Structure 1
Amino acid sequence: MNAFLIDAFEFCRLKEHRNGEIPVADLPRLAAEIVDPSGVLKWGLEGGKNALGYPQLNLAVSGAVKLTCQRCLQPFDFAILSDSILILAPDEASADEIEEALDDDSVDVIVGSKALDVLTLIEDEALLALPISPRHETCPDKGLPEPFKLPEKESPFSVLKTLKKS
């Protein structure tokens, strides 16, 4: 049996907890978005119920990945620190109803199952944590070309100035 498959509703009912580390290279969609697939992501998953009694998963994912800066095209380390609350629904229609009832953007409603793939949840969470346009806060000066400057032109009025003196 796959260690990353859980019965999501039982996991929440029993208030189970799991955690571990997963190599970034084992997450193909994430590995395709980064410069270097080495390294690991730490994760933790905890089941329970929210205040309204809905089954809830708390997912935490952390680690560092290398991204390419969109300004200077140099690689840089990006820290993934993500905590999510996932409310479980038995089907899509129920998910929409629960989402509307909760009216809370900090909570995501997903369709749970008896064979929920935790690995997919971890990878989704890591992908959602990546910036749309990754950039250094301040790019390093590694051989960047000087900004292009046009040569200074002589003012057309300087000719008039010399005529006035004559």
Structure 2
Amino acid sequence: MPADVTVRPATPEDRPAVERLWLMFRHDLSEFRGVLPTAGGGFRADRVVHAFTAPGWAPYLLACGGHPAGFAFVRGLDGPVRVLNSFFVVRGARRRGVGVRAAREVLTRHPGPWEIAYQHDNPAAVRFWPRVAEDLAGDAWTREVRPVPGRPELPPDLWISLTVPPA
């Protein structure tokens, strides 16, 4: 596992880099959701806006060797359950332990109940998220199928629920 992985809260100065990483993330997900870019070549970025401005949200920037390598958006920090709203690691940093280490760091910063959604037709996510859940909660986690709110045309998501203990 690379020792040079860092996870830190993203600042307003980081937002341009996070917005570019968001485009890569949405491009990757377009394979599983059939979502095409807007006329301007981008994707809806309301989650980026929320991550940086909405109460109860927190954006994190992942770096590897000092280079931006991904992001995580957390919501629900002002409620009973935290939600890992979006999580992304660039392809050049995948399959080297970067994602597991980064996910663990983000989740352990906010001990307590968590929920994480992912698409069942994304084979990498199907392998990755149960591994993270087992790492943090042993066998004390659950997985369930839930419809995507307000999007009946999309296949349902898989949701993992777990409780992250205090450090």
Global fold match (TM > 0.5) = no
Return the index of the structure with the highest Cα Rg.
1
TM-score scaled to structure 2, two decimals? 0.27
Structure holding more helix per residue: 2
TM-score scaled to structure 1, two decimals? 0.27
